[in-house]
Amino acid sequence: MASRNEQPPHFLFVPLMSQSHLIPFTQMAKLLAFNGVSVTIVLTPLNAARFNMVIDQAKALNLKIQFHILPFPCLEVGLPEGCENMDTLPSNQYVQLFFAASNMLKDPFVRWLSELETLPTCIVSDFCLPWTADVASRFKIPRVVFQGISCFALLCSHKISHSNVHESVTSMSQPFVVPDLPDTIEFTKAQLPEALLQDSGAWKRTIEIFKAAENSADGILVNTFEELEKMYVQGYEKTVKKIWCIGPLSLHDRLILERTRIDGNKTSVDGSECLKFLSSNKPCSVIYVCFGSLCRINASQLKEIALGLEASGHPFIWVIGKNDCSAELDKWLVEEKFEERNSGRGVIVRGWAPQVEILSHSSTGGFLSHCGWNSLLEAVSAGIPLVTWPLSAEQFFNQKLIVQVLKVGVGIGVGEVVDPMEGQKTVFVKKEHVKKVIDQLMEQSGDGELRRNRARELKQMAYMAVEDGGSSSSHCKLFIQKIVGLVPS
């Protein structure tokens, strides 16, 4: 078996193969490497190809980051070949197979560790990969869990599951108050993540395995910063061993590249068009619309969004995800001459857009978002208020934080979780309401001005957190010191 000798700290990252997990993992790799740690990220071939730029940046920055590639067992579990990332799955029926394949990475991972001359100093594992707990125990390697969601969401989930308060309501639409929180927070059962509603024995055992793996870890890294949700950080820390808040990782990433004069944001043709469009508009005038890479929205709802954007009269950048680029929508856009009609006032991007650069541009005044945590942190770091349109997972929790606690957003009014792989079956929001809420967000006085001022305050807090001596920067250093102290010399 491998042994551990005197060496610089070497941290081994094991993420879930999904964009919303991989992006913060790679950002965290650069942060730790910038603080003197050598990082190896376990990836599969398709995902390694997607993140090759990370290696290029690491070389340019003289950071010690490398990938270790493990084949993803698609065919062995019945997945179509090439389905190595959650966003490549054809439909919801493949999700369980995807997690089965993710769990099958354990054996080749163990074989690789056994062949190493020197073991890593620490394993940083995704919450969704509890088998890493067994591996860390076997090789006597310190292990921490990375949580890529807010402490608000983590604490809400914990309080609901432990109190079973949601089981006392008689309908999916009846609101209930989450107990023992710093604020009065209400949800309905229809807004809860599926994990909290499952009552099968198999699913409960799965959740118990996840929680046991988290509790056995030496601590938890969270992509947030203390000042953003201080009471919820403190509340969640009471339920686990130790928390290090090291976010916003996207802001750390941007500042590392800026300090070292590396262009980490080379844009596509569409990206360049976005930035050129922004530069032609007035400050705080453009509404940016993006629903992330995973969720699917039906063509009828997308048409309502298009017409609502147009009716609002505000300049816009609208990103249509690759899973939403349908023949029906394209045909409608052509027949309606929508892009021609809005030439000079709106830009449609199909697939990918440079979101951080768009949000950071002075002309961007609002963000209509699905409330994914990575996106919300990017908006907070840019000082941008939001229209919140949660779809799945913990996104209704995130909406409550943004709208009710932080007071930098306006809810679109949707009331139930949708299956991210299957998408919406009906139109939830009509064009008139899309227009109304965008107008509400973008107003220059009254509540609109208050939200904008509050968003700017949060931006300042985020920057202070990641600066030397700031809370997140300090937590990162303390985390590294703690782990190095756990390793016998």
CA distance 75 to 81: 6
Q: What is the mean pLDDT of residues 64-88?
A: 96
**Full-prediction pTM beyond 0.85?**
yes
pLDDT greater than 50 at residue 264: no
Q: What is the mean pLDDT of residues 256-269?
A: 62
**In angstroms, what CA-CA distances link 323 with 147, 293, 425?**
26, 8, 15
pLDDT tens-place string over residues 266-287: 444 467 889 999 999 999 999 9
**Strands of 59-196, DSSP E:** 65-69, 122-126, 143-147, 176-177, 186-187
Reference 14, options 130, 111, 154, 140; nearest CA is: 130
CA contacts within 13 A on the Cβ side of 289: 27
All structural domains of the chain, each given as residue ranges with its CATH number in brackets, are 10-255+466-486 (3.40.50.2000), 267-462 (3.40.50.2000)
pLDDT tens-place string over residues 408-428: 999 999 988 887 666 566 668
CA distance 180 to 196: 18
Q: What is the mean pLDDT of residues 387-405?
A: 96
| Residue 270 neighbours by CB distance under 10 Å | 17
Q: Which amino acid is at 310?
A: E
For tokens 């680029």, what's the residue?
A: 325
